[in-house]
Amino acid sequence: MVSVFAVFIGTGVPSIQQIGLGTAVAIALDATLVRLVIVPAAMAVMGKWNWWLPRPLQRVLPHTEVERLKPALETSA
């Protein structure tokens, strides 16, 4: 998408050039800085709060398990 909007910079119309430059820079920053650095860092800082579900939604949504705990091995002596 950055390259598509960067093509607009080569047009002869100044307003289209400005829009092309602005959107190309915005998409490049979003794809690199925000999605690769800021979001993972915020998720690491927030920890368990990333997966907080409001109580009204908790009642409406079905309960599903993605991972099940393996039963502990019983040892007999």
Confirm whether 64 is domain-assigned. Answer: no
Residue whose structure tokens are 């602005």: 22
| Phi, psi (degrees; rounded to nearest 5) at 61 | -75, 145
Confirm whether 65 is domain-assigned. Answer: no
Instruction: Give the pLDDT mean for 17-44.
Output: 95
Confirm whether 72 is domain-assigned. Answer: no
Confirm whether 12 is domain-assigned. Answer: yes
HSE (CB half, 13 Å, CA atoms) of 30? 8
Could you read off the pLDDT of 38-72 as tens digits, one per residue? Answer: 999 999 999 989 888 888 988 898 888 777 766 66
Residue whose structure tokens are 């119309």: 13
Confirm whether 29 is domain-assigned. Answer: yes
Instruction: Give the pLDDT mean for 6-29.
Output: 95
Confirm whether 77 is domain-assigned. Answer: no
- Is the model's pTM score more than 0.85? no
Of 57, 54, 2, give the one whose Cα is nearest residue 26: 2
What domain range includes position 11? 2-50
Confirm whether 60 is domain-assigned. Answer: no
